[in-house]
Amino acid sequence: MSVRGPAGFVARWLVNYVLGIETSCDETAAAVVASGDKLLSNVVASQLKTHFRYGGVVPELASREHLRAIVVVVRKALEKAGITYRDLNAVAVTQGPGLVGSLLVGVTFAKGLAASLEIPLIGINHIEGHIHAVVLEERQRGGEIPFPSLALVVSGGHSHLFHVERTAGDEYRYELVGRTRDDAAGEAFDKVAKLLGFGYPGGPLIDKLAPFGDPSRVPLPASKMKGNALDLSFSGLKTAVLRHVRASNMEAEINARRRLFAEGPAASFDEVRASTPQATLDLIASFQQTVIKELLRRAMRAAEERPVESIIVSGGVAANSGLRARFQSLTLPVYFPSLSLSTDNAAMIAAAAYPRLLRGERSGLDLRPQASLALGAA
């Protein structure tokens, strides 16, 4: 049983249960975090089956699926945490960026819940959430990430580099120092996978196939940026892969694979690997290595420009094993979330809300979803 103070007052020494809700894209998620550092439950309902046949997320279908799932997902998160609605001290919800119709489901539900329970509502930036997935897990292990830190958030929607400072009062300040000018890193993984006839989302499968190829076999171009050298671009790389596919007469192989993936994820990984020619595995390995090199180059340069004590890598692409291995070989301490907190989840939203809750920050019931909500002034 938690204890709530007078309106707006949240005592640091009491156990505070924050319910996080995340519906920015194609995952309906709810989680309970106690006192900012204990993850009590983390429930994620994936819509993969709904969107798979379209080769990407269909916004209208995503909103409908969120509506269907949200009540059950929240109830499960409370059950797993061993608490009831009445025990909650605050509701945190993703305000943006994301698909506006999807965000609206989470925001509306969170508002209703906060109003009926008479507890604070806190709107959270999804990108800030990804960073706090790592802060949360490090605290849960009893450690603290040393700040200032360089945070690389790489997902299906974002490839952003932030310089992050933390004040003594546990307040986080974000400065956007680099970003993608076109495709996000996860989007590049998904588009290349789709181009090669693999299903959606392509990142996890490319990750598993890449170790079977030779990354030095297909020369692919690194991007050349005018202006901010910390910015990223992946559309040229995607075009280079397309050109290679056309020049290598891969159409028949790709069409056969499209049939294999037409109805859903292929039966087994071994089957997929066995039916993928070595030349394609080499292309996949070369593509993945190029993406990793691009991200590593920007992160190292950013860390030289502004001294940092650590690097945080988060977002769906942070699940990539090749990326993890390369970043972990750096001399700076590098922090990744566990695999389940790399991709979208609500634990990161609840964790990001906790320091704000303690500082008395609240969102009004006029909180609106914002599809392009920014984090950190450039």
Residues that bind ligand KG4 (CB under 6 A): 25, 155-157, 186, 189-190, 201-204, 207, 315-317, 319-320, 343-344
Which of the listed partners (Zn ion, ligand KG4, none) does 290 bind, with a CB threshold of 5 to 8 Å by partner kind? none
Name which of 39 and 133 has its Cβ closer to ligand KG4.
133
Q: Is 344 in the site for Zn ion (CB under 5 A)?
A: yes
Q: Least distance to Zn ion from the beta carbon of 344, Å?
A: 4
Return d(Cα 163, Cα 310) in angstroms, integer: 10
Which of the listed partners (ligand KG4, Zn ion, none) does 336 bind, with a CB threshold of 5 to 8 Å by partner kind? none
Return d(Cα 250, Cα 252) in angstroms, integer: 6
Which of the listed partners (ligand KG4, Zn ion, none) does 312 bind, with a CB threshold of 5 to 8 Å by partner kind? none
Beta strand 310-314 with 149-154 is parallel
Q: 33 forms bridges with which residues in the sheet?
A: 18, 39
CB 132 within 8 A of CB 138: no
* Environment class of 216 (CB within 10 Å of its CB; exposed 0-12, middle 13-18, buried 19+): exposed
Name which of 20 and 120 has its Cβ closer to ligand KG4.
20
Which of the listed partners (ligand KG4, Zn ion, none) does 95 bind, with a CB threshold of 5 to 8 Å by partner kind? none
Q: Least distance to Zn ion from the beta carbon of 35, Å?
A: 24
Q: Least distance to Zn ion from the beta carbon of 175, Å?
A: 20
Name which of 185 and 303 has its Cβ closer to Zn ion.
185
Name which of 59 and 148 has its Cβ closer to ligand KG4.
59
Q: Least distance to ligand KG4 from the beta carbon of 68, Å?
A: 20
Name which of 207 and 282 has its Cβ closer to ligand KG4.
207
Name which of 109 and 189 has its Cβ closer to ligand KG4.
189
Residues 146-175 binding Zn ion (CB under 5 A) are 155
Name which of 25 and 70 has its Cβ closer to ligand KG4.
25
CB atoms within 10 A of CB 332: 17
Which of the listed partners (Zn ion, ligand KG4, none) does 202 bind, with a CB threshold of 5 to 8 Å by partner kind? ligand KG4
Helix (H, G, I), strand (E, B) or coil at 265: coil
Q: Where are the beta strands (DSSP E) in the chain?
A: 17-22, 27-34, 38-46, 90-96, 121-125, 149-154, 159-166, 172-179, 310-314, 334-335
Q: Least distance to Zn ion from the beta carbon of 203, Å?
A: 12
Tokens at 87, concatenated: 């025990």
Phi, psi of 159 (to 5 degrees): -140, 95
Instruction: Count CA atoms closer than 13 A to 296's CA, side-chain side.
Output: 18
CB 233 within 8 A of CB 239: no
Return d(Cα 195, Cα 213) in angstroms, integer: 18
Which of the listed partners (Zn ion, ligand KG4, none) does 26 bind, with a CB threshold of 5 to 8 Å by partner kind? none
Residues that bind Zn ion (CB under 5 A): 155, 344
